[in-house]
Amino acid sequence: MAQIKDIESLRPREITVHWVGMAENVQIMGSFDGWSHGEAMSREYSGDYARFSATLRLRPGSYEIKFLVDGEWKLSSEYPITGEGLTQNNKLVVQ
């Protein structure tokens, strides 16, 4: 029975990630796929700003992420920041 609980704790979970701001195109990039392809984010309008979201299927753990906003790397104030200088990324923790 304990093995079944351990297996359950490793199953991928659906996590919705958001970016809020003015933009045409937003992608989330990160360590979840080795910084290779990322995931395009869908736009939803919310007042003066657009809100972008993407749903990722990730195993529990800690991931570094960054947003590619209209071709420029951006951090989000909605997620903790890790690293320094050019190596700064947001941190996403999946429980």
- pLDDT tops 80 at residue 3: no
Number of domains, the chain: 1
Provide the CATH number for the domain around residue 16: 2.60.40.10
Q: What is the residue range of 28's domain?
A: 2-94
pLDDT category of residue 10 using cuts at 50, 70 and 90:
confident
Mean pLDDT, rounded, for 16-24: 93
Q: What's the sign of the alpha-carbon dihedral 70, 36, 45, 77?
A: negative
Segment among 42-51, 55-64, 85-94 with least mean pLDDT: 42-51
